């Protein structure tokens, strides 16, 4: 697709670009590309020359202000680190999605965003930029879940890595296939890169000659006869990934070789707080409760041992910001003024932030009474 609009590039710097460090970054949107009817790619670049280093498949976190409320949301990079001067995220408009709709409706070339990153472990590459395994790969994507796999595929193509890759993408209709032309180009340029599309319906594309229907075991085996010999990387909506797991398990696939990007932020919600703490079978056993005080708001609530701070706050009728509910995005990050917690995060905070007293209520259970800077 052609660019909808763009910002002129800055003059070339005399010095080498500064590497992307551990600090948050301010990036400017320099182009917006319409990929499909409801998917856009936003190209981001630093005003100062910057070399963005990351592993294909990783994500960044946007820190936005929407309607006066701070919101943090993670988006996988669809760009490749082999082209380090700019980053891109490819976003599907989600009905009711606060951030995806804001990006589609408001983000234009020239606007700046606060970005943290990169983070995430969903990648076929090691820390040195090489493929982590010599095994053939199967990349399975559904809808906008194509983004991390596209980042990996672009890196393979740019580096001319002769990897054995089967890339299978599922979409609603042919017009909903993201990056269709680029994937076809990769397949022409790389003899061992094969690309297949599975569409639920033909839609308005009368000339479409690919597979129709939902991805099934017979169809997957027809597309990838040596399925059992491949490392699988999967990303898509939760039902899509659940179906893929079921298909693989049905044929005895070694699930230790299966990897997926499993978080979705637009529809995430905290687990039912009432079900978080089991009732003791022994009536003489008591469950410890800790007081959580929100200093700025003046509110206080109780949190049971084994219950996350976010779940306890929700049960008490208090609204704290959150998104992923599993310690990935950092949306709920809160400064802890006193007290101790057991935090099981998944990359939402950097080590230096934890050392400064920040924690994630969505994945932290209290060990003592807490005073929070909220």
Q: How confident is the model at residue 13 (pLDDT cuts 50, 70, 90)?
A: very low
Q: What is the pLDDT of residue 50?
A: 82
Cα–Cα distance, 374 to 372 (Å, whole number)? 6
Within its chain, how far is the Cα of 335 from the centroid?
A: 24
Q: What is the pLDDT of residue 275?
A: 31
Q: What is the pLDDT of residue 286?
A: 53
Cα distances from 77 to residues 58, 70, 186, 219, in angstroms, run 6, 22, 19, 29
Q: What is the pLDDT of residue 85?
A: 92
Reported as a single tens digit per residue, the pLDDT across 95-127 is 988 999 999 999 999 999 999 878 788 999 988
Q: How confident is the model at residue 346 (pLDDT cuts 50, 70, 90)?
A: confident
Q: How confident is the model at residue 272 (pLDDT cuts 50, 70, 90)?
A: very low
| Whole-number percent of the chain with pLDDT over 90 | 63
Between 247 and 203, residue with greater pLDDT: 247
Q: How confident is the model at residue 19 (pLDDT cuts 50, 70, 90)?
A: low
Q: What is the pLDDT of residue 130?
A: 87
Q: How confident is the model at residue 269 (pLDDT cuts 50, 70, 90)?
A: very low
Q: How confident is the model at residue 15 (pLDDT cuts 50, 70, 90)?
A: very low
Q: What is the largest CA-CA distance in the chain?
A: 73
Within its chain, how far is the Cα of 22 from the centroid?
A: 19
Residue 284 has pLDDT above 80, yes or no: no
Residue 7 has pLDDT above 60, yes or no: no
Q: Could you tell me the two tokens for 135?
A: 């095994």
Alpha helices (H) along the chain: 98-106, 146-158, 180-189, 217-223, 238-250, 309-315, 351-355
- For residues 124 and 231, is the Cβ–Cβ distance under 8 A? yes
Q: What is the pLDDT of residue 285?
A: 42
Reported as a single tens digit per residue, the pLDDT across 46-91 is 998 888 888 999 888 898 999 888 888 889 999 999 999 999 999 9
Pairing of strands 231-235, 258-261: parallel
Residue 273 has pLDDT above 70, yes or no: no
Reported as a single tens digit per residue, the pLDDT across 229-263 is 999 999 999 899 999 999 999 999 999 999 998 65
| Whole-number percent of the chain with pLDDT over 70 | 86
Q: What is the pLDDT of residue 2?
A: 46
Strand order across the beta sheet in which 231-235 lies: 211-212, 193-199, 165-171, 137-142, 231-235, 258-261
Whether cis (ω within 30° of 0) applies to the bond prior to 39 is no
- For residues 163 and 133, is the Cβ–Cβ distance under 8 A? no
Residue 345 has pLDDT above 60, yes or no: yes
Q: What is the pLDDT of residue 14?
A: 38
Q: What is the pLDDT of residue 5?
A: 56
What is the rounded average pLDDT of the residues 162-188?
96
Q: What is the pLDDT of residue 267?
A: 44
Q: What is the pLDDT of residue 127?
A: 82
Residue 188 has pLDDT above 90, yes or no: yes
What is the rounded average pLDDT of the residues 143-163?
95
Q: Which of 50-59, 156-165, 203-212 has the highest mean pLDDT?
A: 156-165
Q: What is the mean pLDDT of the chain?
A: 86
- For residues 87 and 52, is the Cβ–Cβ distance under 8 A? yes
Strand order across the beta sheet in which 334-338 lies: 299-304, 289-294, 370-372, 334-338, 358-359
């Amino acid at each position: 697709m052609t660019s909808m609009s763009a910002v002129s590039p800055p003059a070339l710097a005399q010095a080498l670009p500064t590497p992307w460090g551990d600090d948050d970054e301010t990036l400017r949107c320099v182009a917006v590309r319409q990929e499909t009817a409801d998917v856009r790619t936003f190209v981001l670049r630093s005003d100062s020359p910057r070399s963005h280093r990351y592993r294909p498949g990783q994500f960044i976190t946007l820190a936005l202000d929407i309607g006066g409320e701070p919101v943090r949301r993670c988006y996988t990079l669809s760009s490749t680190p082999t082209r380090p001067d700019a980053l891109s995220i490819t976003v599907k408009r989600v009905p009711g999605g606060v951030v995806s709709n804001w990006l589609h409706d408001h983000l234009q070339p020239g606007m700046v965003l606060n970005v943290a990153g990169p983070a995430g472990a969903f990648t076929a590459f090691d820390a040195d930029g090489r493929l982590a395994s010599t095994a053939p790969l199967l990349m399975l994507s559904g809808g906008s879940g194509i983004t991390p796999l596209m980042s990996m595929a672009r890196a393979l193509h740019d580096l001319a890595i002769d990897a054995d890759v089967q890339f299978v993408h599922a979409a609603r209709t042919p017009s909903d296939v993201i990056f269709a032309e680029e994937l076809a180009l990769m397949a022409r340029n790389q003899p061992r890169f094969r690309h297949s599309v599975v569409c639920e319906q033909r839609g308005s594309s009368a000339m479409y000659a690919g597979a129709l229907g939902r991805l099934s075991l017979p169809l997957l085996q027809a597309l990838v006869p040596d399925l059992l010999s491949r490392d699988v990387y999967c990303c898509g909506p939760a039902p899509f990934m659940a179906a893929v797991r079921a298909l693989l398990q049905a044929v005895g696939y070694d699930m230790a070789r299966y990897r997926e990007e499993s978080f979705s932020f637009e529809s995430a919600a905290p687990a039912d707080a009432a079900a978080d703490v089991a009732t003791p079978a022994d009536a003489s056993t008591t469950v410890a409760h800790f007081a959580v005080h929100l200093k700025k708001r003046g509110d206080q609530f109780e949190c049971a041992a084994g219950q996350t701070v976010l779940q306890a706050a929700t049960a008490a009728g208090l609204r704290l910001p959150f998104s992923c509910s599993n310690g990935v995005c950092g949306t709920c990050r809160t400064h802890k003024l006193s007290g101790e917690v057991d935090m099981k995060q998944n990359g939402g905070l950097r080590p230096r932030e934890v050392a400064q007293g920040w924690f994630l209520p969505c994945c932290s259970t209290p060990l003592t009474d807490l005073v929070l800077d909220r």
